[in-house]
A and B are shown apart, each in its own frame.
Chain A
Amino acid sequence: MEARRQPARIHRFRPALITQTDDALPEYMNLIGMICSMCALMLKIKWCAWIALFAAIVGFANARATEDTKQVLSSLMLSISAVVITYMQNPTPMTIPFFQ
């Protein structure tokens, strides 16, 4: 068994060799988060702000390790600010339009 080890045949790792998977969920969540945050801030829609927050957190949970954390964090901060600012503008409780 020991004879199988051959230090002469060592090759260094290259990140390109990792099998690529077609997982676009983090990008979609990022996009939805951004759009919903903008809607919430400009149109003062509360449930949009909450959806943005959810999307940002789901995107954060599914992010790859190689992905830039600044992008993910900025999306999260934007959604939190959307929620806070929407409630500061209108402190009344949220009403879901489909159920009322």
Chain B
Amino acid sequence: MRLAICLVIVFLCFICSAAKKVKDEDFSEFDDFDQDEFVVETPSTTSATLSSSKTQGSKPDAVETEKVIQADSNKGKQKEKEDDEEEEVSVIDEDDDSMFDDEEFEASDSFASATSATPDLKIAEVPANLTGNRWEAYQCEAVMIIALLAYLINFLIGRAKNARLATTVYHAQRDLLDRNFALVGDDGQTRNTETDDQVNQMQKESDHLYILWCSGRVSIESMLIELRLVKRQCAFNSLAAIIKSINDTLVYTIDFNKDDMETFVFCLAKKRSAVKLHRDMVDLSQFCAERKSADKKGFPGNYQVLSEIGEASSHITNDQKLAEFLTKYPDAIEYIHISDQYSGMKIQSDQQTSSNAATNTGTAAQQQDALNTSERSLRRVLIVAFNLTPQDGRSLQITSESLPGDYLRFVLQLIDRVAAFRFGSKELKNKATKNRQRIEEQFLKSVNLQRQEQAQLRREEKRRAEKEKVMQSDDAELQRKWEEKEHKREMKRRQPKMKQMKVKSM
């Protein structure tokens, strides 16, 4: 109701304004009419206008005669005007109606009105690109194109720089790798690993990730070298790296065989990485209760230790060569992660188990496969991550010619140390075994719970499908039977499960 009243009021206002506008427009030509027209018109001008207007309107034959007649009448008028100006005005006023037609004074009227009233001219706005130099109007587009070109140039430069770094790192380590590994560089797709062609560079996974696979060495199964570079090909990532002070990283991931490595979990990391690893890594969060500072060991820099078995941790940290390396390169090691229960990060491992469990639909064979894959994929690994930063004021390119060789030597020495370690006493071995059993039970419980939930869901769906089928069949007998069955099932579920005790008769 109120809305209707408001609309009516608005409509009335609109009509009033429109009407006023029309009224104003209708009478606009008479606004300045009385003020100027009669004062400005002198006898000479009036005669001129009259004669001109007359000549416009009349035929050429009658022009002269009319002029004469007009001249006479004007002369008469001039005499009268000399006497009295007011009468002049009045005479002209009287004569206006009779003598002057509208057509004759069309031009003078319009001229008078044009000069008296301010014209309301509307100048159409011509788009900027159609006036003058057209291309100058496209300023925003020019800025966009320049930005795009700058990004593309940065992409090419960044990509080339990353490729150069990868090549340098590879060549710095090539000889040492050849001496230690039977297979250096494998993409997993070639049929024969024993080829005459040597791999000349690291395998390019993307513009910021280069890998190298090495295998065929005593005491380990394989070693994967990952060169994780800053995304120099993307301008935004480069800026973010500068702001967050992210640098290039060289990561060695070594896989041990079951017999090559003792069962323990250990991590030595810089504080910032220790926090992240303790939070995100499954094995570190399960087996290592707390983070301890490594200042007691005398390591320069801010290192922390995550330890499961103290003896194993001491064996690693009390190494003379580790201390020497850390003294020589204080910030080189980002983290050392040693684990026989490695399964990746928490989010990824959750995704794996959920995807495995979610395959519990379909045929029995598929279900059997799902049961088999619900085991955790555990690896025995040694992961060492190094920071590749410019040293001693030199550029990164020059530094990466010498550093990777030292890093590799350290890693190989650490591999031998880890492979050589065995628990001193049986108690420690039992403790480690107990820890693992506990974690395994927890995992199996969670998987069991998931399977039960899925079985329940499947049963519900099956029942729903049956119900729909029965309802749609239009067979009263069938419906009644099904309802009876459902009723019995409900009663059975509601009844508490009682154990039957058989009493033997004496």
Residues in B with CB closer than 8 Å to A22 are 347
- Interface-located stretch among B91-99, B138-146, B289-297: B138-146
Known pairs A54-B148, A64-B206; A15 contacts B188 (CB<8 A) = yes
Q: From residue A51, how far is it (CB to closest CB) to chain B in Å?
A: 10
B217:A6 contact, CB within 8 angstroms? yes
Residues in B with CB closer than 8 Å to A96 are 140
How does the 8 Å CB contact mask read for B214-238 relative to A, with 1 for contact and 0 for none? 0111101110101000010110110
Bound form: Cα–Cα A91–B381 in Å: 61
Residues in B with CB closer than 8 Å to A58 are 151, 234, 236
B179:A9 contact, CB within 8 angstroms? no
Smallest Cβ-Cβ distance to B207: which chain A residue: A61
Residues in B with CB closer than 8 Å to A20 are 344-345, 348
Residues in A with CB closer than 8 Å to B205 are 18, 64-66
Bound form: Cα–Cα A58–B224 in Å: 29
Residues in A with CB closer than 8 Å to B188 are 12-15
Bound form: Cα–Cα A18–B19 in Å: 80
The reply to whether the CB of A4 lies closer than 8 angstroms to some CB of chain B is yes
The reply to whether the CB of B12 lies closer than 8 angstroms to some CB of chain A is no
Q: From residue B162, how far is it (CB to closest CB) to chain A in Å?
A: 12
B182 interface neighbour in A10, A13, A50, Cβ under 8 Å: A10
Bound form: Cα–Cα A96–B209 in Å: 38
Bound form: Cα–Cα A18–B231 in Å: 18
Q: From residue A91, how far is it (CB to closest CB) to chain B in Å?
A: 7
Known pairs A12-B188, A19-B251, A57-B152; A5 contacts B181 (CB<8 A) = yes
Size class of A's contact patch?
35 or more
B216:A10 contact, CB within 8 angstroms? yes
Residues in A with CB closer than 8 Å to B139 are 93
Bound form: Cα–Cα A45–B74 in Å: 71
How does the 8 Å CB contact mask read for B120-162 relative to A, with 1 for contact and 0 for none? 0000000111000000011111001001100110010000000
Chain B CB within 10 Å — which of A2, A12, A91 has the most?
A: A12
B216:A50 contact, CB within 8 angstroms? no
Residues in A with CB closer than 8 Å to B193 are 10, 12
Bound form: Cα–Cα A94–B141 in Å: 7
B215:A57 contact, CB within 8 angstroms? no
Q: From residue B282, how far is it (CB to closest CB) to chain A in Å?
A: 13
Residues in A with CB closer than 8 Å to B186 are 12-13
A11:B237 contact, CB within 8 angstroms? no
Chain B CB within 10 Å — which of A13, A19, A93 has the most?
A: A13
Bound form: Cα–Cα A94–B138 in Å: 7
Residues in A with CB closer than 8 Å to B224 are 13, 17-18
A-B contact count (CB 8 A): 115
Q: Secondary structure of the B side of the interface?
A: mixed
Bound form: Cα–Cα A18–B127 in Å: 57
Smallest Cβ-Cβ distance to B183: which chain A residue: A10
Q: From residue A98, how far is it (CB to closest CB) to chain B in Å?
A: 12
The reply to whether the CB of A63 lies closer than 8 angstroms to some CB of chain B is yes
Residues in A with CB closer than 8 Å to B274 are none
Bound form: Cα–Cα A19–B151 in Å: 29
Smallest Cβ-Cβ distance to B142: which chain A residue: A93
A2:B211 contact, CB within 8 angstroms? no
Bound form: Cα–Cα A53–B223 in Å: 41
The reply to whether the CB of A1 lies closer than 8 angstroms to some CB of chain B is yes
The reply to whether the CB of A69 lies closer than 8 angstroms to some CB of chain B is no
The reply to whether the CB of A88 lies closer than 8 angstroms to some CB of chain B is no
Q: From residue B357, how far is it (CB to closest CB) to chain A in Å?
A: 19
Chain B CB within 10 Å — which of A9, A54, A63, A96 has the most?
A: A9
The reply to whether the CB of B317 lies closer than 8 angstroms to some CB of chain A is no
The reply to whether the CB of B47 lies closer than 8 angstroms to some CB of chain A is no
Q: From residue A12, how far is it (CB to closest CB) to chain B in Å?
A: 5
Bound form: Cα–Cα A5–B224 in Å: 16
Chain B CB within 10 Å — which of A7, A22, A61 has the most?
A: A61
B217:A4 contact, CB within 8 angstroms? yes
The reply to whether the CB of A3 lies closer than 8 angstroms to some CB of chain B is yes
The reply to whether the CB of B253 lies closer than 8 angstroms to some CB of chain A is yes
B213 interface neighbour in A4, A13, A19, A91, Cβ under 8 Å: A13
Bound form: Cα–Cα A91–B149 in Å: 22
Residues in B with CB closer than 8 Å to A66 are 205
Smallest Cβ-Cβ distance to B233: which chain A residue: A61
Smallest Cβ-Cβ distance to A54: which chain B residue: B148
Residues in B with CB closer than 8 Å to A89 are none
A6:B216 contact, CB within 8 angstroms? yes
Q: From residue A95, how far is it (CB to closest CB) to chain B in Å?
A: 8
Bound form: Cα–Cα A91–B233 in Å: 33
The reply to whether the CB of A71 lies closer than 8 angstroms to some CB of chain B is no
Bound form: Cα–Cα A18–B180 in Å: 22
Residues in B with CB closer than 8 Å to A1 are 179-180
A4:B180 contact, CB within 8 angstroms? yes
Residues in B with CB closer than 8 Å to A74 are none
Known pairs A57-B148, A65-B205; A5 contacts B216 (CB<8 A) = yes
Known pairs A5-B217, A9-B218; A19 contacts B140 (CB<8 A) = no
A6:B251 contact, CB within 8 angstroms? no
Residues in B with CB closer than 8 Å to A53 are 148
20 sampled A-B residue pairs with Cβ under 8 A: A2-B179, A4-B179, A4-B180, A5-B181, A5-B217, A8-B216, A9-B220, A10-B182, A11-B255, A17-B224, A17-B253, A18-B211, A22-B347, A47-B140, A61-B151, A63-B206, A64-B205, A64-B206, A93-B129, A94-B140
Give B residues with C-beta under 8 Å from A. 127-129, 137-141, 144, 147-148, 151-152, 155, 179-183, 186-188, 193, 204-207, 209, 211, 213, 215-218, 220-222, 224, 226, 231, 233-234, 236-237, 251, 253, 255, 344-345, 347-348
